[in-house]
């Protein structure tokens, strides 16, 4: 069977590219090896789908070896454009924090998938589920061998994502196709992923499993993110940690500010108000009890005091020592042992080298008719709807050309 455009992958980017190509009158076929489309959409945001971010058009909030690549697509198809489509389908949504937009109501994420399917149907784009691709080749047209037979098309768009969340069917398919056609790759790695630690750190971290704290975290070569951190049985998770994980590299330290709303005088101020309070008790003014006890040992040691500092009253401690302890809490160095890998990663960093693609269309410059969109490309957004916006923007850009 012959088509104008074949898209492999019925996720956010693939379906969005299909509906826009279909609107142009192109005969479009979307192939999906899963039994249902939009698997990642359905589980996103705890089932509520954080479908974009009001700041999602800011290309500086995306990570890529080519930091300016995403600017074109993001500026031409913005969060406002996708919101118009949501509103046209009467899907209720709300802003949570930091510009994150979520759907409201029961089966909220399913509404996004159904919207995309309805738009594809209106544009006469065909979807085939449970269809596996065994090989791809290129002659005058692209030939795709599948479990349902051979297919041909003028263009081929790869929208199969990265390696994150393999239980949903994620694989290296996009990278395999890139290699086949000589398209360079930026080494893929897990992103937006919990960090793990060695036994020395886990000795005190494990006792805090389930505790959350508002922090500011920074990787050695990244930005600082002010959000929550969550202790796990393997280390640290939570939004702040997931954010910096995308910038963190193995063997590097991360820096945690446990007192983002306080300055280095915080403990001195408590001393002035309650000079007879013990050091460990003073920290409970700033943290949950268990976290205060854990941090008091380390903060005291970093301030040049012995472990007995926990039992000392603030009035017996010099202001300089308390300032040093606060500084230690505000610049708390940790060295992760690793991360929890693609199994827990929300996205894949790296992928198809953006330098090999057209900023306007997502087409491989050296291979006419071959396109890559969404997570398959070396463009990764911050946590909070940015990666969906990249799926919409890159899918739209390809949809104008395939």
308 or 297, higher pLDDT: 297
CA-to-CA separations, 276 to 21, 167, 181, 295, 345, in angstroms, rounded: 72, 55, 72, 20, 47
Class of CATH domain 195-339? mainly beta
Domain ranges of the chain: 2-189+349-399, 195-339
Among 338, 302, 331, residue whose Cα is nearest residue 198: 338
Average pLDDT, rounded, for the chain: 94
- Name beta bridge partners: 372: 158
pLDDT class for 23, splitting at 50, 70, 90?
very high
pLDDT tens by residue, 328-356: 899 999 999 999 999 999 999 999 999 99
The interaxial angle of helices 108-122 and 79-88, nearest 10 deg, is 90
Per-residue pLDDT at 298 exceeds 90: no
Q: Would you state the pLDDT for residue 26?
A: 98
Are 156 and 141 spatial neighbours (Cβ–Cβ below 8 Å)? no
pLDDT tens by residue, 130-183: 999 999 999 999 999 999 999 999 999 999 999 999 999 999 999 999 999 999
pLDDT class for 300, splitting at 50, 70, 90?
low
126-146 burial, b for 16+ CB within 10 Å, e for fewer?
bbeeebebeebeeeebbbbeb
Domain 2-189+349-399 annotated CATH 3.10.20.30: no
Decide whether 2-189+349-399 matches 195-339 in CATH topology.
Answer: no
CA-to-CA separations, 152 to 30, 37, 371, in angstroms, rounded: 12, 22, 15
- Name beta bridge partners: 380: 63
pLDDT tens by residue, 179-230: 999 999 999 999 999 999 999 999 889 999 999 999 999 999 879 999 999 9
pLDDT tens by residue, 246-275: 999 999 999 999 999 999 999 999 999 999
Among 159, 175, 132, 169, residue whose Cα is nearest residue 42: 169
């Amino acid at each position: 069977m012959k088509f104008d455009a074949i898209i492999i992958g019925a996720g956010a980017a693939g379906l969005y590219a299909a509906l826009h190509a279909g609107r142009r009158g192109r005969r479009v076929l979307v192939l999906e090896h899963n039994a249902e489309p939009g698997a990642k959409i359905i589980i996103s945001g705890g089932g509520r789908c954080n479908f974009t971010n009001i700041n999602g058009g800011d290309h500086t909030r995306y990570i890529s070896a080519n930091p300016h690549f995403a600017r074109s697509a993001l500026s031409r198809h913005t969060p406002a454009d996708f919101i118009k489509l949501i509103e046209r389908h009467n899907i209720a949504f709300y802003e949570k924090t930091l510009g994150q937009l979520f759907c409201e109501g029961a089966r909220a994420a399913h509404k996004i998938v159904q919207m995309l399917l309805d738009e594809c149907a209106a544009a006469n784009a065909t979807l085939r589920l449970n269809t596996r691709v065994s090989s791809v080749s290129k002659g005058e047209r692209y030939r795709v061998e599948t479990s349902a037979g051979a297919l041909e098309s003028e263009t081929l768009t790869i929208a199969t994502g990265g390696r994150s969340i393999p239980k949903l069917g994620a694989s290296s398919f996009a990278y395999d196709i890139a290699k086949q056609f000589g398209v360079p790759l930026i080494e893929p790695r897990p992103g937006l992923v919990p960090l793990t630690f060695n036994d020395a750190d886990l000795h005190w971290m494990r006792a805090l499993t389930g505790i959350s704290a508002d922090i500011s975290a920074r990787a050695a070569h990244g930005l600082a993110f002010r959000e929550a951190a969550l202790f796990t049985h393997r280390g640290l998770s939570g939004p702040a940690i997931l954010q910096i994980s995308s910038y963190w590299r193995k063997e590097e330290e991360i820096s945690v500010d446990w007192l983002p709303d306080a300055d280095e005088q915080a403990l001195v101020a408590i001393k002035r108000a309650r000079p007879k309070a013990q050091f460990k008790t003073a920290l409970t003014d700033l943290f949950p009890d268990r976290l205060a006890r854990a941090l008091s040992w380390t903060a005291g040691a970093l301030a040049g005091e012995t472990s007995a500092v926990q039992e000392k009253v603030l009035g017996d401690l010099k202001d300089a020592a308390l300032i040093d302890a606060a500084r230690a809490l505000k610049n708390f160095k940790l060295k992760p042992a690793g991360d929890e890998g693609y199994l827990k990663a929300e996205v894949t960093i790296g992928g198809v080298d953006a330098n090999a693609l057209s900023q306007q269309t997502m087409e491989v410059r050296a291979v006419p008719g071959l396109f890559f969109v969404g997570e398959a490309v070396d463009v990764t957004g911050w946590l909070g709807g940015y990666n969906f916006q990249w799926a919409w923007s890159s899918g739209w850009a390809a949809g104008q050309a395939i």
